[in-house]
Amino acid sequence: MNNPLQYKTIGITEDPELIDIEKPEEGLELHVGSNVFRNTNGVVKLQGKEQLVLETQLEPQMLLLTMDLYDEQGTRVGHIRRNAVSAQSATRYVIRVKTGCEASPDDLPSVTVADRTTGHTVFEACLMLRRKIRITAGHFYTHKGELVTVSPHYCRIGTGFTLFGNVAESRGNAAAIGVR
């Protein structure tokens, strides 16, 4: 029943040449600020390095985050693996996860990372639909020590690179931002 290559006849005809093959589900669609990365594998590469991965879980409906956290010198200061903070960074970072069980139409499944030392939101994403994820906020550093800022309107790395309103087809690969 869930065969991704089921044949479905188009129209009313006996001609076996007129068939449409159902495609398997496409990858994740990531909305980063006002930018859209279609058909990704959930990985986000910043300045050429895979820094974060977003996954979806069906039961309970949940968003899973894996992420490396750096400081302004590019030194790794924290690590999150599928919504769990590593022991070394547990005193600095806190994660809040909302599942589909807790969510309402106005309160979607989400994951939020906050820095206890500053009180600021480091990263926030929500699951809009089963395969669409919106990164709603970001304020963290890349492995090169450049500040990444994500707002509803843009995604900026440092002072020299800003994406605004772009649409990119990732073809099953990572969403690449700030490749130099």
H-helix segments, 35-88: none
Can you tell me the mean pLDDT for 158-166? 91
**pLDDT > 70: percent of the chain:** 83
Q: What is the dihedral of CA 112, 131, 57, 147, to 10 degrees?
A: -30
Among 35, 34, 25, 33, smallest CA distance to 56 is for 25
**pLDDT > 90: percent of the chain:** 68
Asked whether residue 16 carries a pLDDT value surpassing 60, the answer given is: no
Q: Choose between 22 and 81: higher pLDDT.
A: 81
| pLDDT band, very low/low/confident/very high, at 3 (cuts 50, 70, 90) | very low
> Which range has the worst mean pLDDT, 24-33, 42-51, 56-65?
24-33
* Phi/psi of residue 135, nearest 5 degrees: -85, 110
Kindly report the average pLDDT of the chain as a whole number: 86
Residue 17: per-residue pLDDT: 56
| pLDDT band, very low/low/confident/very high, at 78 (cuts 50, 70, 90) | very high
Residue 1: per-residue pLDDT: 43
pLDDT tens digits for range 95-147:
999 998 765 666 789 999 999 999 999 999 999 988 999 999 999 999 999 99
Q: Choose between 21 and 54: higher pLDDT.
A: 54
- Cβ neighbors of 13 (< 8 A, separation 6 or more) are none
Q: Hey, which bits of 11-120 come out as E strands?
A: 19-21, 28-32, 35-40, 43-46, 49-57, 62-70, 76-81, 84-85, 93-98, 110-115
